[in-house]
A and B are shown apart, each in its own frame.
Chain A
Amino acid sequence: MRKEVETKAERAGRPSLRAELGAALGFVERNWYLTKRYFGWEVVFLFYTIVNTLTIALIGVTTPGEAGPKVLYLVVGGLLWGFLSVIFHDVSESVAWERWEGTIEYTFMAPIRRLTHLGGMCMYAVIYGLVRSVVVLGAVALFFDLDLSGANLVGGLVVLAVSSVSFIGLGLIAAVLPLLSTERGSQATHIMEGFILLVSGVYYEIEVLPSWLHPFSVLSPATYTLKAVRMALLEGAPLVDLFPFVGRLLLTGVVLIPLGLLVFSLGENYAMRTGKLKRSG
């Protein structure tokens, strides 16, 4: 009888690599459907991001000296922060969001590995972040006469792709907060996000920060991403000059992703022990 039951379950569950990949794509597809359904909100957020980036870039015009490089410096900061924060936000909010929708229990009892679940969420976050950044860049380019003739665009993209790995790791660590605290976990992720924004030199060089914040700047992967992308776009630095940054970002990602998964799995067990793996209300 047990054999018969297992056969039926295996047919239904298909615990294969292909099935896990299919499930990960299921999260991508589901999030795409949700983006379409909340399209009005997407437009509002996109508009806000564009205006925000433009406003920050205009500061470059108002300060003394040649405006072009300063505007580009600030635009790069705005764009990169937009991209990285989308990844961080989408991954870290994945639990809070499902709790709010009321689907958390259904998703967590699905016969898939947590890596598949979170991997799918990360995949969508990266695609979504990239598309959003391209749209914002397009809008900003219409507003300013950005000179990218000497920029190493490929180098910038390589850095961006590598940095997303570290940010996924950070997002995974932050995603555990809504698991641990149903009421305040989500807010805590915003504190973490804000702190990374402060210490990473998004709109200024990290040297202007008080010295006690410098160690945090050194630890933040966003610091290296911003430095490397600015070198690529503003100075046209070749890929070989970007390798030290790429190496650091890769190393950070290699450490943060397994660490994030471990932290998440410990958090999930805690939530299962204390009864916190449930919908809101």
Chain B
Amino acid sequence: MVCREVSKTFYERDETLAYLPEYRGLVGRWRYLRTRPTPVRAVDKVSFEIRRGEIFGVLGPNGSGKSTLVRLIATLLLPDAGSVTVFGHDVVKERLAVRRLINRVSVEASFFKKLSALENLRYAARLYGYPPREGTEKALDILERLGFNRRKAFGSLENLSRGMQQKVAVARALFTSPVLLLLDEPTTGLDPRSKREVQDFILEVRETHDTTVLLTSHDMSEADRLCDRVAFMDEGRFVAEGTPSELKETYGRPGGDGTVSLEDIFLEVTGKEWPGEEDV
């Protein structure tokens, strides 16, 4: 997967203005709608390559542009400049071909929560071209491997823990044999145990599937554990890139406990403190 000088800017109105007295009422509303939206550079000339079979991590705090980058690769956004190719297919010109090669897990498990895990997987199977029977068999097989009994498989997904939902989301993404798997903060908001389970599952996937993974996270220990290479993203730009050990060697200045963490590297390359869990 190759990203070359990709940029994306959004234009947003300052919504706080709408509460000011001069922007109230019909005339005020009209005036507000005529205010010039502010450009927000979400992704700024980002270039990188991911090799086949690699787990590549993009690390950054909230609002750094990670999810926008994932959505550009996932064909959900059009880039303003630059190009993204997924194993030779351009995400703008060959949208359908790219969609056949990828799948994505987002921070919130995108399911019909009233439906069961089985029903959601059957739906996914249909969308990705599997005949109903094959889709059902494959879905049941996956759910069994995830430790689902029949009651869980047929019960509403909303009754499952978030960790379990997220494991089903990863399983659904793999169900379609993607060549590139986009994991957009798959463990954010999970309790430590669920987080560990999902991470173990990702490592298992890496062992058993021929899948390339792009993982975004703001959890440095997760990146250290899972990724072959990582890039730090800040204000839409890649500010450092390499294997965790390379980065530690290049930028590392030991912290208080004498070891170098990825948080220390982020501080070194951006001059900013890495936000705590409660801030992200």
By a beta-carbon cutoff of 8 Å, the part of chain A in contact with chain B is 1-2, 5-6, 8-16, 19, 22-23, 25-27, 29-30, 33-34, 37-38, 101-103, 105-113, 269, 272-275, 277-279
Contact = CB atoms under 8 A, between A and B. Distances in A.
Leading 3 A-B pairs by shortest Cβ distance: A26-B126, A14-B129, A13-B100
Interface stretch (B175-183, B199-207, B226-234, B260-268): B175-183
Interface residues of B, number: 45
Interface string B141-178: 00000000000000010000000000000000000111
B83 to A, nearest CB: 16
A105 B74 contact: yes
A12 B87 contact: no
Interface in B67-116: 68, 71, 74-78, 87-88, 96-97, 99-102, 104, 106, 108, 110-115
B115 A279 contact: no
A159 B246 CA distance: 71
B76 A103 contact: no
Contact of B119 (A11, A30, A102, A272): A30
B40 to A, nearest CB: 10
Nearest to A116: B127
Interface of B: 8, 10-11, 52, 68, 71, 74-78, 87-88, 96-97, 99-102, 104, 106, 108, 110-115, 119, 122-123, 125-132, 156, 176-179, 210
Contact of A9 (B11, B76, B115, B179): B179
Contacts of B74: 105, 109
B157 to A, nearest CB: 10
Contacts of A1: 52, 87
A10 B101 CA distance: 9
Contacts of A113: 96
Given A12-B178, A110-B127, A272-B76, A103 B110 contact: yes
A23 to B, nearest CB: 5
A38 B167 CA distance: 25
B149 to A, nearest CB: 20
Most buried by B among A25, A109, A272: A109
B110 A5 contact: no
A12 B176 CA distance: 6
A275 B77 contact: yes
Contacts of A34: 112, 114-115
A37 B110 contact: no
A266 to B, nearest CB: 13
Nearest to A32: B119
